[in-house]
Structure 1
């Protein structure tokens, strides 16, 4: 399957109320495990990826290091791969798209916390403009890279009260949608009423975060979610399980 076909397949999986489940991986082994378990696509998380190399999350790796690992992952599986590129590693949008496609990825997450600039939060239109530039670069490359626009406002108490953060997230996500995003990711663990408002008021499929040993597909389907990823929680769950096994040998 070509990159263009992978991208089209991946985009079609995003159906509100019938969510695609993307177990978040970090290397070729975890990617093959997910594919062999029957999942249709995968996403590579920045946190577990950094952990696997002994680096810090929040752009503790370079973009070149990220794409080197992505090449290993895409060589090991034949399902669509999306990549969390944090806030963009201070790279130009065209460089990001070129690097991801060269590595065999057909999707990306882009967040509005700028790690290379003291973790400042991009202004709403500033983030939307970046999303638009990524869309333009992908269009120029001839592959509809699936752009998952993320906002971190729910994770930032400094941005206001819970109600103010919800309003801010809706504003930011609507601007990103207008700029060319395919999926919207108001990251955080939300109460059902908040998640339902997000899925009902936002104009594009919504990505939510799940915890492997909790929730379940039906929970997110009922709330109108179109995509579920695990962030660092799959790696965390495997770590806890391994620690339990190791306990009998200490």
Structure 2
């Protein structure tokens, strides 16, 4: 566990409000190695991308064992810290979340996202508490990122959303969360209000149309990830290329593809070479 502890400490140190950790999200070993080769200091998995890669819809439909096997493949393929999106914990209750966290550590990841799915706040807190206790028992400073879906689901008025998110965030931090993830928010003023009101690093999920990472950092974000965005973009290339070939017999969608030799060499590297 020594190397895992070191990776976990490295991952914690990357979270600095104002200088956000930029986390491209991977879904398989190839995407993870490409992201690492591009210069990422750490890698996050995307539960949606992993589910799609394994032929399953997103939304707590993938079996935890299958998801964590993919996390293990990703973690073993790279030399940077990996944080795993484990949806609601792949479990029916807090005890199950603790078991999932132990499996995450066995897989080689040093962080987790645990989403509330708008469960009752006290139930989400129990899951965060269980995750923290399991990691502490393993003596690994796992980064527990508590996801709060109030904005993503569009619940209530703007003021109500802010108040409810801050309330849930405070409960999660008290339960042992190291960071708070609020998807569905990119408005600079709201990001700033969240960052000021939460006593933990704030994770924002960005994409086309959102302010750039520098602006989100100026507003207080400590972490910017892109969720399933890269996976969606990659799959869009597959669709365009297939449609073009089948409909017109041409190949322009393949322009600017990754160089075969470079990609093959990257995939052939051993982790010890990295």
Considering the TM-score relative to the shorter chain, is it more than 0.5?
yes
| Equivalent-residue separation in structure 1 for 2:138 and 2:129 (angstroms) | 14
Q: List alignment gaps of at least 5 residues for structure 2.
A: 248-274
Question: Residue in 1 aligned with 2:126?
Answer: 129
Match of 1:148, SS state, is strand
| One of 187, 203, 207 as aligned partner of 2:203 | 207
The answer to whether residue 45 in structure 2 is matched with residue 47 in structure 1 is no
Equivalent position to 1:108, from 79, 87, 112: 112
73, 83, 99: which one aligns with 1:95:
99
SS of the aligned residue for 1:59 comes to: coil
| Number of aligned residues | 242
Secondary structure (helix, strand or coil) at the match of 1:147 reads strand
Stretches of structure 1 that go unaligned for 5 or more consecutive residues are: 114-120
Corresponding residue to 1:143 among 118, 129, 140: 140
TM score, norm. by length of structure 2: 0.84
Task: State the distance in 2 between where 1:215 and 1:166 align.
Answer: 19
**Counterpart selection for 2:219 from 219, 223, 237:** 223
Could you give the per-residue CA deviations for residues 27-78 of structure 1, whole angstroms, max 9, x where no partner exists? 0000000000000001111111111111011111111101111111111101
The answer to whether the Cα contact below 8 Å between 1:94 and 1:134 also exists between their aligned partners in 2 is: yes
Displacement after TM superposition at 1:126 (Å) = 2.5
CA distance in 2, matches of 1:77, 1:21: 17
Match of 2:176 among 169, 175, 180: 180
Say whether residues 1:81 and 2:71 are aligned partners. Answer: no
Q: Which residue of 1 aligns with 2:254?
A: none
- Whether the aligned pair in 2 keeps the contact of 1:149 and 1:181 (CA below 8 Å) is yes
1:25 aligned partner: 26
Q: Which residue of 2 aligns with 1:116?
A: none
Return the alpha-carbon distance in structure 2 between the equivalents of residues 247 and 125 of structure 1. 48
Contact conserved, 1:173 with 1:186, CA < 8 A, in 2? no
Could you tell me how far 1:217 is from its partner in structure 2? 2.3
Q: CA deviation at 1:212?
A: 6.3
Q: How does 1:53-64 map to 2 (within 5 A)?
A: 53-64=54-65
What is the root-mean-square deviation of aligned Cα atoms in Å? Answer: 1.7
Structure-2 separation of matches of 1:130 and 1:213 = 33
When the two structures are superposed, what TM-score results if normalisation uses the length of structure 1?
Answer: 0.91
Q: For residues 215 and 240 of structure 1, what CA distance do their matches in structure 2 show?
A: 23
Matched residues in 2 for 1:209 and 1:218: separation?
A: 14
Q: Matched residues in 2 for 1:162 and 1:190: separation?
A: 13
Aligned to 1:161: 157
Change (3 A) 1:160 1:216: closer
| 1:103-138 Cα shifts (integer Å, max 9, x gaps) | 11110000111xxxxxxx322232123212211110
